[in-house]
Structures are given as C-alpha cells and as structure tokens.
Amino acid sequence: MENIRPRILFEDNHLIIVNKEPKELVQKDITEDITLADKVKDYLRKRYNKPGNVFLGIPHRIDRPTSGIVVYTKTEKALVRMNALFRDEKLVKKWYWAVVDRLPQFDNPLIVHYITRDTKRNKSYATAEPRKNSKEARMNLSVIGASKSYYLLEIELLTGRHHQIRAQLSAMNSHIKGDIKYGAARTNKDGKIHLHARKIEFVHPIRKEKVSIIAPPPKDAIWDYFASLGRD
C-alpha cells in the first residue's frame, strides 16, 4: 500500500491531516476501492507498531474528485470534539481553489444560493430563491488568477452543503474544469476535477491552540501555473 507520509500536512497525538489526491475516497463506499483512510491506518500501524485494528475518526469529508485537506482523528476524544467543531460553521474556516472556464459575474463577494439535493442523481441544484427542502448556501468568492483559458477562484466556504461549490458556480455559469456533472464541456483525462481544499483553520480540540494548514494542489500543468503565482 502507498506510503502516505509525504502527504501528511499535520500530525500529533490526536489529529492527522492529509492532502487527498483527486479520485481518492475519504472513506469506504459501495465500490470497495482502497481509501485514503485505509492508507492512513496502514501508515499508523507501521509507524507506531500497532497490532490489530487502528482507530481512525472521520469528522469531515470532501468529494471524491476533489483534492486537498482531509482531517482525521487518532482518538475518540478528538473525534467527538472535531465533530462538534465542524457542526458549528463559525468554528472551522475552510478555503478552496477552483479552476473555472468562465469568470462568474458578481458585485458582492458573499454569494448566497439555496441548495436542493437530488439523492437519486447524487447532484445538487443552486437557486436564487428557496425551494421545498432547500438549504441556504453561503460562500465568499474572489478571483485570484487567470491564464489564457482559465480563471483561478478562491472560495471561503461558509456553509457545508452537498456539492455546494460545484452547484453554486454552475448556477453562475462558471464551471470547474473537468466537472461535466455540473456543466463543464469535457472531462479531464483521469476523471478528476480542478477543485482543491486549499486551507483550513480551527482551534485544536485538545491543545486549544490555533491550527492553520495549507495544502499544495496536485501536480499538473494548470495547477503548477496557478500555484506559481504564490498565493496563500
């Protein structure tokens, strides 16, 4: 199994934060594919010579085609407290990078939609007005880079709705590269999308110290270009 040590962004006795690759599962699903959680457990088992099952808590998830920061916990105590942090939208700050085909038009950086989830299609729809069973979705949006063909957006995610960034940008006629589910013209060759969980900040659930983590994007020509702009 892959050695994930080079992708570990933070580790102490309570937390382990890893840079997920696109198309990698955070946890098991119906595919039974090897997951990032499997790789982290394998790393912990070997690193600390742990026999038998290794505890790994999963307080939050990101979509399979998305890359970037995933927080796992190494203890049940940390899991309970991280779950509580993630439930309060004000206690965990999250920023994403998205490479898009069109520049979204907006006057106010605070973008508000209402998300309706279609569980059968595993897809969400963002509308300007509330609909039956919809939930408010909020994000702060800024344009931080451009190339000849694409734009780099930075999103501060203020709520955690299903496929929120993908749905909100699609509603603004701006599509994440490779994300044909939400309107991109074509897929990427490897099925990934150019959406990356870039940064996270929270107060450590046990040590009560500020944790601030930045994850480099995956290696490809487009990400390499935008990463070279030197944005934090």
Alpha-carbon dihedral 213, 20, 156, 153, rounded to 10 degrees: 120
Nearest to 83 by CA among 60, 65, 116: 60
Q: Domain containing 121 — which CATH number? A: 3.30.2350.10
Q: Provide the residue range defining the domain that includes 111.
A: 5-227
Q: Which long-range contacts (CB under 8 A, 24 or more apart) does 34-40 make?
A: 34/1, 36/4, 36/70, 37/72, 38/1, 39/1, 39/2, 39/4, 40/4, 40/16, 40/72
User: 188: which 2 tokens?
Assistant: 């990427």
Per-residue pLDDT reduced to its tens digit, 14-36: 999 999 999 999 988 777 889 99
Strands 151-157 and 135-146 turn out to be antiparallel
DSSP classification of residue 176 = B
Residue 143 inside a domain? The answer is yes
Q: What is the pLDDT of residue 191?
A: 84
Q: How many domains does the chain have?
A: 1
In a domain, 198, yes or no: yes
Evaluate whether residue 232 is within a structural domain.
no
Determine, yes or no, domain membership for 162: yes
Tens of pLDDT, residues 65-81: 999 999 999 999 999 99
> pLDDT per residue over 104-114, tens digit each?
999 999 999 99
- On whether residue 88 sits in a domain, the answer given is yes
The predicted-structure confidence for 191-218, as pLDDT tens digits, reads as follows: 899 999 999 999 999 999 999 999 999 9
Report whether pLDDT(232) > 70: no
Convert the pLDDT of each residue in 98-136 to its tens digit.
999 999 999 999 999 999 999 999 999 999 999 999 999
